[in-house]
Structure 1
Amino acid sequence: MPPPDSYRTLAAPSQAEPPKTKGSRFIGDAFRARSADEALAHVEAVRAREHAARHHGWAYRLGPDAPAPRSSDDGEPSGSTGPPILREIEARELYRVVVVVTRYYGGTKLGVGGLARAVGEAAGAALDAARKQVVTVRVPVRLAFAFEDTSPAMRLLDVFDAEVADQSHSAEGTELALRVRRSEAEPLRAAFVEATAGRGRVIG
């Protein structure tokens, strides 16, 4: 199954802190992250900001066709922190997102189940507080055509969801650099060859 043409992510960072659970504070921070390095940089920034806390569980999920998501319990009981955070991200069908949940221990043990519920609540609250946006996945397509084929070539831009990134002109004609919705790239290339009766060139 091909990856989707668009995905939901965060438009801006957000933070939420639900009421204490048996004296323990749980602070959820959610960020947009375009790569694993960027996600881990957000984790370290929260760790530095909340340096008095001992545990900063986290999870991230990148693009729809990116490597598998990752999570960490950061010293909490296995499966009590990272996986619950990841479940909250996945439940909202979000991508390119990292969530960090900081815990300040309140003196009463919660057990694995209680800890997982509290962590999930903080992660979910942070994600729900964030503004969302839909990002369209586009790929580059380059076309070249003679001046007499300008009209049929340019009409394709109205048919397909294509953005002109750059264009140049020479004695031979025009070269267009487009950004096209991923699922439409191959159909556009085929339609271009047909519209120009094979005279146009698909460069990329």
Structure 2
Amino acid sequence: MSPLEQNDTFQTIAYPTVEVLFKDKGSKFYGYAIPVSHEDEIDVEIQKIKAIHHKARHYCYAYKIGGEPFVYRVNDDGEPSNSAGMPIYGQILSHNLTNVLVVVVRYFGGVKLGVGGLISAYRSAANMALESSEKVEKTIDDIIELKFDYADLNKVMKMIKDYQLSILKQDMQLSCVFLLEVRKSLTQEIIENFSDLRIGQIRMIE
């Protein structure tokens, strides 16, 4: 396996975790780990949790999306700076995960925990949520568009079968258009092989 092939996979979680609970001095910290692929999913997932815990005081979270480059964000939601979001994010890094959102909901128990206590509590709840999640390895994929004549369909389908490509969208008429999902480490090889067949036009989709 080439170095490129080794670097086109990432670890994430398969399904949203079952709710976990960490308690400290009367405060309750409910942890959730949720698989996500795009930043526009974040607010939707947080609103779902707020609907469940509408009486809670804090909804702190962190997420990481993508490989290289990746995006991340942390949110303390009213807790002292860096006492909640960063400890949560640290657990995402510790578990070597991406494409994941971790939310920890806090109900105040009447006793202040101090910054150190909060860091420990949010870290523990995040770790519990991730520990209870099923981990999966996925590939980093590109999307390519292939335009070809219907007469060349059999050649195209053979290539798709040989490389086990996923067809995301297809428009099959006299001229056909396929959107194909391709493992990143194989993208250039597949583009070259389709080009060698001289059966149409192929391009990457940004």
TM-score by length of 1: 0.79
What is the letter of the counterpart of residue 75 of structure 1? G
Which of 126, 131, 135 is matched with 1:132 structurally?
135
- Per the alignment, residue 55 of structure 2 pairs with 52
2:16 maps to 1:17: no
Looking at structure 2, the residues matched to 187 and 69 of structure 1 have their Cα atoms a distance apart, in angstroms, of: 32
Question: Percent identity between the aligned chains?
Answer: 32
Q: Deviations over 1:28-68 (max 9, x none)?
A: 11212232232122222222322222111111112225652
> 1:54·1:103 contact (CA, 8 Å) conserved in 2?
yes
Q: Which amino acid aligns with 1:187?
A: E
Distance 1:80 1:202, change over 3 A: same
CA apart distance, 1:100? 1.1
Number of the residue aligned with 2:199:
200
Q: 1:175 to 1:70 in 2, by over 3 A?
A: closer
2:80 aligns with one of 77, 82, 106: 77
Kindly tell me: are residues 145 and 59 of structure 1, through their superposed partners in 2, closer, same or farther at Cα, counting changes over 3 Å?
same
Q: Which residue of 2 aligns with 1:89?
A: 92
Range with greater deviation from structure 2 (95-104 or 3-12): 3-12
Q: Return the alpha-carbon distance in structure 1 between the equivalents of residues 30 and 112 of structure 2.
A: 17
* In structure 1, C-alpha distance between the alignment counterparts of 2:128 and 2:179, rounded to whole Å: 42
- Equivalences, count: 197
Shift of 1:148: 7.9
Partner SS state of residue 15, structure 2 = coil
Match of residue 33, structure 1, among 15, 33, 36:
36
Q: Is 1:141–1:179's contact at 8 Å kept on the other side of the alignment? A: no
Say which one has the larger Rg. Answer: 1
Aligned AA for 1:52? K
Aligned-CA RMSD value = 3.0
The whole-number CA distance in structure 1 between the counterparts of 2:118 and 2:154 is 63
Structure 2: which 5+ runs fail to align?
none
SS at match of 1:190: helix
CA shift, 1:181, in A, is 1.1
1:64-91 CA distance string (max 9 Å, x none) = 2565200111111110000011111122
Distance of aligned partners of 1:43 and 1:95 in 2 relative to their CA distance in 1, 3 Å threshold: same
Structure 1 window deviating more from structure 2 (6-15 vs 120-129): it is 6-15
**Kindly tell me: are residues 149 and 62 of structure 1, through their superposed partners in 2, closer, same or farther at Cα, counting changes over 3 Å?**
closer
1:193 Cα deviation from its structure 2 partner: 2.9
Q: How far, CA to CA, are the matches of 1:61 and 1:163 in structure 2?
A: 26
Q: Higher strand fraction: Structure 1 or Structure 2?
A: 2
Deviation at 1:132, TM superposition (A): 3.0
